Chains A and B, each alone.
Chain A
Amino acid sequence: MPVKHLLLAAITITVLALISLLIGGGDLSLAALLSPQEGQYAAQILLISRIPRTLALILAGTAMAVAGTIMQMLTRNRFVEPSTAGTVESASLGLLIVTLFAPEASVIVKMLVAAGFALAGTALFLRILRLVPLRSVLTVPLVGIMLGGIIGAVANFIAYRFDLLQSLNAWTTGDFSGVLRGRYELLWIAFALTLLAYLAADRLTLAGMGRDFATNLGLRYRSVVSFGLVIVAMVTATIVVTVGMLPFLGLVVPNVVSLLMGDNMRRSLPWIAMLGAGLVLVCDIVGRVVYYPYEIPIGTIMGIVGSALFLLLLLKGRERLA
């Protein structure tokens, strides 16, 4: 698709971002910003709350959609994303454990521990996939959801015992209402990782064609898979630590883009990133407007919008999803 369309999408994202900047409990209009009395207050809201929140939305949306795409390439299955592969649950478990044993650890350390767990959990998922005879494309996400269920149950049990259920819930349900300056910057790491994924787009696309195919073309398949897994694990961990899981995003966005323009990631990744950011922005704006001045967490909105879109994809593009 031509550059013109990409530009148009970028403008749409910018408009959505502006809307996101202007919505919220406090009054923040252009007039307020410019008025001498309220100006300073308004500027503070903008700098401490609104800009961080909007940036967090864009960064998280982009990263999550790209992480989903990578998962689908590596497993060669369109129904896989971090929340259907045990990745999210593993990251939460890791976060729970580091919170229990080293509560004073810095957020970076916590993120890295969560990423380590996410990596181990996802590697376990891939290992199980190699052992289980896969009769249908649906077996893959089912295995992942079951594995996630088991790991999640362990996490739940521990959290229940140590009175951390609320934290666990916050990690698994995306919510941007608590995003303030100083609490979201980790997401830039996730964004940097997506840029890294873009540099490796050709390799990831090739890996998506299977081991033999990739090997024939001289690709070091194993190292590309490991590279992809590390990116997915780090992105998931970062998002779980900062804003909480965004369900369905990594599933819906890559599938929509794949239907529209195929799977050559060199071409599709910019679109996946933009659609991811756009969808998250829209869902968060809706969550803030519907019940104004109260908020509905984005995880809930995303769950509704995402599952509806996903059902639609299932019914419409069935033969292609195989």
Chain B
Amino acid sequence: MIEISNIRKAYADTIVVRDVSLQIPRRGITSIIGSNGAGKSTLLSMISRLTPMTAGTVTVDGLDVTKTPSDVLAKRLSILRQDYRIGSRLTVRDLVEFGRYPYSKGRLTAEDRSQADKAIGFLGLEALADRFLDELSGGQRQRAYVAMVLCQDTDYVLFDEPLNNLDMRHAVGMMKLLRQAADNLEKTIVLVLHDINFASCYSDYIVAMRDGVLIRHGSPDEIMTREAIREVYDMDVDIRDIDGRRIAVYYT
């Protein structure tokens, strides 16, 4: 379980995340939604110890993320941020194998290699495995990063906008894959999502933020209501039931 208590992030004169407390249960997919600048990415970044918090604590299975040695935590929790700009020319296989770094420290064992192969296969990257990242399209690169994070094989996997750069088909493919990872590999996945319909269709649990505050959390059915969405986005949106799924029609 990820236990967040009273965390706050303040810069000189603005508070980006304001005293958020939340428990993220093991297994399944939790999506964080909210408008731009609501503090979603900052929250994710603090949970994963990439951004130091101003106040509060985060524990992952009882380990305080700010006090646990980074290499111990790297076997429990991984994060994929959206703004990675890796300038290095690495092949997809190189990148994915680096996912084993917390275990191998660079000396790959046969086990590490087979994990990497599995991750590459899981994302359908076999044909691209020996290509350099800078020769791939944005979507292919995104899949390579996801393969790396899965290769890291942590119980908790955090994604900041994993659907960035992906077209319709690949976005759906990615969400299905994350669902599979949650169901079959028993991962706990936390996502920052912009498309609330993806959040509605694939999450077990939705957390809504606004102006740095956690304003609602609950099952997709509880969050996908006209009132809740108005509260989160300041927008009146029609929510329809389509084949048992709640879909927000917000395009017009």
Contact B106 A217 (CB under 8 A): no
The CA-CA distance from A203 to B72 in the complex, in Å, is 16
Does chain A have a CB within 8 A of B132? yes
Given contacts A77-B87, A262-B89, is CB(A218)–CB(B73) below 8 Å?
yes
Q: Name B86's closest neighbour in chain A (CB-CB).
A: A209
Does chain A have a CB within 8 A of B142? no
Does chain B have a CB within 8 A of A215? yes
Does chain B have a CB within 8 A of A129? no
Chain B residues at the A interface, C-beta cutoff of 8 Å: 48-50, 69-75, 78-81, 84-91, 94, 98-99, 101-102, 105-106, 132, 134, 152
Contact B79 A216 (CB under 8 A): yes
Contact B87 A78 (CB under 8 A): yes
Contact B132 A262 (CB under 8 A): yes
Contact A215 B49 (CB under 8 A): yes
Given contacts A202-B106, A210-B86, is CB(A216)–CB(B94) below 8 Å?
no
The CA-CA distance from A194 to B166 in the complex, in Å, is 42
Cβ contact of A217, chosen from B72, B74, B90, B134, cutoff 8 A: B74
Given contacts A217-B102, A218-B102, A219-B101, is CB(A263)–CB(B81) below 8 Å?
no
Chain B interface, DSSP helix/strand/loop, else mixed: loop
B27 to chain A, nearest CB (A): 21
Contact B91 A219 (CB under 8 A): no
Q: Which A135-193 residues have C-beta < 8 A from chain B?
A: none
Q: Name B132's closest neighbour in chain A (CB-CB).
A: A262
The CA-CA distance from A216 to B150 in the complex, in Å, is 12
Q: Which A199-225 residues have C-beta < 8 A from chain B?
A: 201-203, 205-206, 208-213, 215-220
B170 to chain A, nearest CB (A): 22
The CA-CA distance from A203 to B70 in the complex, in Å, is 14
- Specify which chain B residues have a CB less than 8 angstroms from the CB of A14 in the assembled complex: none
Contact A209 B74 (CB under 8 A): no
Q: Name A321's closest neighbour in chain B (CB-CB).
A: B87
Contact A216 B89 (CB under 8 A): no
Top 9 nearest A-B pairs by Cβ distance?
A: A218-B74, A202-B106, A218-B71, A263-B88, A262-B89, A218-B102, A217-B101, A263-B89, A218-B70
- Specify which chain B residues have a CB less than 8 angstroms from the CB of A258 in the assembled complex: 89
- Specify which chain B residues have a CB less than 8 angstroms from the CB of A206 in the assembled complex: 98, 101
Q: Name B101's closest neighbour in chain A (CB-CB).
A: A217
Other than the given A203-B106, A211-B50, A218-B73, 13 more pairs (CB < 8 A) read: A201-B106, A205-B98, A209-B84, A209-B88, A212-B50, A216-B152, A217-B102, A219-B71, A219-B101, A258-B89, A262-B94, A263-B90, A264-B91
- Specify which chain A residues have a CB less than 8 angstroms from the CB of B106 in the assembled complex: 201-203, 266
Q: What would be 10 A-B contacts, judged by CB atoms less than 8 Å apart?
A: A76-B88, A78-B87, A202-B106, A212-B81, A216-B152, A218-B75, A219-B70, A220-B70, A220-B71, A266-B106
Contact A212 B84 (CB under 8 A): yes
Looking at A78, A201, A262, the one whose CB has the most chain B CB atoms below 10 A away is A262
Contact B48 A216 (CB under 8 A): yes
A215 to chain B, nearest CB (A): 6
